[in-house]
Structure 1
Amino acid sequence: MSVAERRESRKMLIADDDLCVVEILATKCKQLGFQVKVATNGLRAILKALEFKPDILVVDVHLPEVTGFSVASHLDPSGKSMKVITISGHFTPLEVERWGVSWSRLSEQNLRVDKWSLCRG
């Protein structure tokens, strides 16, 4: 099975309330061959995931209605059945500490992208 065929069999749910982020991620992941569904709030993410059964969940930490962390823990309490990638457009050092990640390490690895220029083309 080729890499492209393996990707096609992978299902990804992208959950973010920023429609620009959703559009960018969904478009790129579809181009890479992933089956993609999207949700714009935490409750919709849970409902879509229960139906779609994604292999990968890309979830905004600050989703409306239900937080990204709550979505991930509700869908995969053991943390073993799907890959979870958390994203955020803004976070504080206190939140990062609560996640158990060193602020200095995260800052070094943080990649900032001008999402607005990406949306405009």
Structure 2
Amino acid sequence: MSAPVILIADDDPAVLAALSARCRKIGFEVDTATNGLQMLLKARRKSPDLIIVDINMPKLDGLTASFHLLEPGGLPVDVIVVTGVTCEETLERCEAMGMFYACKCEQFWHHISRALTEIFPQMAEAIAEHTGPLIAGPDVLPIRPRVLVVDDDEQVGQFLASRLKKLGIEVLYAPNAARALRIAAGQYPSVVVTDYHMPEGDADFLIMRLRSSRSTAQIPVIVLSGWEIDEVTAKLLKRDILGYSGAIAIFKKSFDVQALFDTIQQYCTGESRPDAAV
């Protein structure tokens, strides 16, 4: 029996190389494309068994290319859509079209392998032998540091986002704690920077909810406040919760920008992480 054919389309050469190497190790035959138009043409010419496609690509985005392939009378092919920025609307569109979805985060390979196992159950054993993240050997996948900014003041969020992007950091934004929890659970940010006073849950509420979930319990949290936080409140925010650290730092919004960014960079580069409960 011939090996299943996977067409991987991504304009990031590191991602393309990492996924291709891992899939070949498992036993798949792999073809690649570096833009949406090339993916569309190769898919129609070669009829792969699966397409793994990035959303943001030149010439034609991955979603549009996939919709063209899956329209009535198109190819009977499974599709895994991958992206570095999760959007609820995109998730809904993928689900409506029956496409799988994987976020480029620390759990990237977990998302991909779970979809591969469902699509190719006959290769489940081979897929299970490759459970580690794409971080070593020829299948190297660099993950950009990712910061989730939470603030009901959009201007503050835009200010922080613009400064963080200059440091090479990917920025996610949430206007409230509820949205922040959904984003954190799906995209695993390196650090959360949150306003203290917000409608629908303050910083203490957000920290409590993050620490109560295994998938988000270790994410460092930095708290910003429009005015001085008293000592009692500061201790409350920094207390251990379920064996995990509370806020790692508290800054007043008239903060020293460099001090805030130094703290963020320290945790983004992995120099320090909150201690997990044993």
In the superposition, the TM-score normalised over structure 2's length comes to 0.34
**1:90 deviation in Å?**
2.2
Matching residue of 1:89 = 84
Q: Quick check: 1:74 aligned with 2:68?
A: yes
CA RMSD of aligned residues (A): 3.1
Of 49, 55, 59, 1:65 maps to 59
Alpha-carbon separation, structure 1, partners of 2:134 and 2:50: 25
Whichever residue aligns with residue 87 of structure 1, its letter is V
Q: Which structure is higher in helix share?
A: 1
Instruction: Give the 3-state SS of the residue equivalent to 1:22 in structure 2.
Output: helix
Q: Quick check: 1:17 aligned with 2:11?
A: yes
Instruction: Give the 3-state SS of the residue equivalent to 1:85 in structure 2.
Output: strand
**1:52 deviation in Å?**
1.6
Matching residue of 2:48 = 54
Larger Rg: 2
5+ residue gaps, structure 2, are 109-132, 143-278
Deviations 1:46-91 (A, max 9, x none): 1111222111010011111111111111122148711110000224
Q: Quick check: 1:39 aligned with 2:33?
A: yes
**1:20 deviation in Å?**
0.6
Matching residue of 1:112 = 105
In the superposition, the TM-score normalised over structure 1's length comes to 0.71
Q: Which runs of 4+ in 1 moved over 3 A?
A: 91-101, 114-118
**1:24 deviation in Å?**
0.6
Whichever residue aligns with residue 41 of structure 1, its letter is N
Instruction: Give the 3-state SS of the residue equivalent to 1:63 in structure 2.
Output: coil
Q: Quick check: 1:27 aligned with 2:21?
A: yes
Instruction: Give the 3-state SS of the residue equivalent to 1:54 in structure 2.
Output: coil
Whichever residue aligns with residue 63 of structure 1, its letter is M
Deviations 1:84-112 (A, max 9, x none): 100002244555466569xxxx9xx9572
Of structures 1 and 2, the one with the larger relative CO (CA 8 A, separation 6+) is 1
Matching residue of 2:205 = none
5+ residue gaps, structure 1, are none
Would you say how many aligned residue pairs link Structure 1 and Structure 2? 109
Alpha-carbon separation, structure 2, partners of 1:116 and 1:81: 29
Do the aligned partners of 2:84 and 2:105 also contact (CA within 8 Å) in 1? no
Instruction: Give the 3-state SS of the residue equivalent to 2:43 in structure 1.
Output: helix
Deviations 1:24-47 (A, max 9, x none): 111111111111100010011111
Alpha-carbon separation, structure 1, partners of 2:40 and 2:28: 19
